[in-house]
Amino acid sequence: MSENRSRVYVPPGWPGEVRPPGAPEWEATAAAWLLDCCPPEFRGYPVLRRHPVVLARFAAEFTDGQLQSARTGLPNVRVSLIDHVDPEVVDRAVDAWQAQEAHLRRVRRSIALVEEALRGRVYVRKL
């Protein structure tokens, strides 16, 4: 392993699909991953493809909206489904909703880390 590569640090939550900041083509891998976090039509906006920091902001806002929907929708799942499916199906639906919310929280953290790095933040391992 090269000396420079051994000094690279990314914090917990850094997406595995994105190379560490400073690595060759790291911004390209960040942009590809960020696009995967967004709706497909985001790929059609040249400004998002040309400016990863703008794309990161869009991805963050989009994911925030999904998280808000997950948070406000969960309390209504039981009420909206109880008359239409068996109680155990409702329980499984609630479990799936909670799993999706947890997934979105992890994605949002990863987006925040990538966005900060695109803005110039350097991550340093705490001793």
Residue 120 pLDDT more than 60?
A: yes
Q: pTM value?
A: 0.88
pLDDT in tens, 58-89: 999 999 999 999 999 988 898 999 999 999 99
- Encoding tokens for residue 90? 């409702």
Give one DSSP letter per residue of 53-80, joined into a string: HHHHHHHHHHHHHHHHHHHHHHHHHHHH
Query: d(Cα 82, Cα 24) in Å, to the nearest integer?
Result: 53
Choose among 123, 114, 125, 122: nearest CA to 14. 114
Q: What is the mean pLDDT of the chain?
A: 93
Q: What is the pLDDT of residue 35?
A: 98
Question: 3-class DSSP state for residue 25?
Answer: coil
Q: What is the CA radius of gyration of the chain?
A: 18
Confidence band, pLDDT 50/70/90 cuts, at residue 6: very low
Q: What is the pLDDT of residue 8?
A: 78
